[in-house]
Structure 1
């Protein structure tokens, strides 16, 4: 898909016109049509912090030892990073 130019109008407070409190500026952007992140990457960004939070909670409850907590957190970050950048 060929990139196309898109114009966005952004409203901001403090307009120079006394009849309207807003002024607008136009921004031109190049749109490629591809999303910023895939669904899998969004899932990884949401799931990895939850895994880390659960590991820390289990450690604080006394279920996991410190080495198990460090291993779980480290491996979840490594796996998420590898999957995120290879998607």
Structure 2
């Protein structure tokens, strides 16, 4: 009878040890997931900032072109090159 109790105690201890190990793994994976999520959020934030700058530049270029159209200025090769240069300058 005493031997059976000792065996049951060993089994229970083994179950507890296994349980704590899995909870440790679970905690580690949660921490890894939190870190990965944070890195993705930072990357997304930076990409949004960059795209916002591009949109602002496009809006500015469109506004300039509308003004030129309203004043009926013709766009010659020199003006066009200047517009393209300004736009490329933003990307580089």
Pick 1 or 2: higher relative contact order, CA cutoff 8 A, min separation 6: 2
Higher strand share: 1
User: In terms of Rg, which structure is larger?
Assistant: 2
Shorter-chain TM-score bucket reads: 0.3 to 0.5
Normalised by the length of structure 2, the TM-score is 0.39
Higher helix share: 2
